[in-house]
Amino acid sequence: MDKLKHTFHGLYKQAAESVMAPLADSRFHERGVLTPGEFVQAGDYLTQACPTWSWEAGEEKNRRSFLPGKKQFLVTRGVPCLKRAQAIQENVAEREVSEGGEDGGWVETCAVVSEERAADIDISGPPARCSQKGSPAPSEDAPDIDDVPDIADISLDDPGAQGVLVAAAAAPAQPGSNIVRTRTYDLSITYDKYYQTPRFWLTGYDEAGQALPPKAVYEDVSAEHAHKTITIESHPHTAVQAASIHPCKHADTMKRLSEAAAAAGKDVTVETYLVLFLKFIASICPTIEYDYTMSA
């Protein structure tokens, strides 16, 4: 999607949302979407299971009437990003393991699992690695990046899209210091009324806490999707220009993943929707170490 097409789509979406009623009846199992009430249910489960995530009210003028005043969107702050996505890809290449001769090779990948392995995703119980101090946990098993929606390219060259996005590479605070400064992110999840799904937002900072330009987001997004799923838009609740993973095919992806899990006897409920959603998002942002890991 070129810049002009994206602009027109944004205007159409805004007009449509102004007249359309919020989804009232559950279509979770049929279409992979959520009602506003189900979004709140899923958010409550996430915040209770992992206190690194919390509800925010946002700016009063930007609040959505179909959501509770104090539960407009979810946020987790100061999430470390120790590596660039390219480093992950290089590590994967180095970890290739050949078995069974020329015709039986396989590749052990890092931080990615396939849709066929959705049955292995654990979506019950307390968080495995959510510390009392709220430090996020590294991601290990996200759905395959082939499940990520591919939208057309978005230009991030717009001077007006100077956002608070990704930050500089990890580096020691001072020569000889054991303190390592890293890129950090504030991550948020909003409810998209038009697509009737959660939407994921990224706001990043360098090692000095300063905002960097939008193009830097590419360095922490899988190369396959950096120019296909990331848009720069105004955050609906804070009005800050931020990077967002476009939700145009989120519902289809979530439906497929939940069906695959259900076929293996895993009951994906409205409450656990965001846990599965975050594992899906981790395949796009494999180096951002937010907490979503659950254990029985």
Catalytic site residues?
248
User: Distance between CA atoms of 174 and 131, rounded to whole angstroms?
Assistant: 27
Residues 6+ apart with CB under 8 A from 236: 62, 64, 73, 190
Per the listing, tokens 């120790």 go with 82
Strands (DSSP E) contained in the chain are 54-56, 73-81, 96-97, 106-107, 171-172, 180-181, 183-192, 197-205, 230-234, 241-245
User: Distance between CA atoms of 163 and 149, rounded to whole angstroms?
Assistant: 23
Q: What is the DSSP string of 245-270?
A: E--TTHHHHHHHHHHHHHHTT----S
- As a whole number of Å, the CA-based R_g of the chain is 19
Backbone angles phi, psi at 192, to 5 degrees: -95, 110
Nearest residue to 182 via CA among 91, 89, 83, 110: 83
Residue 32: left if φ>0, alpha if ψ -120 to 50, beta else—which one? left
Find out whether 163 and 232 touch, Cβ atoms under 8 Å: yes
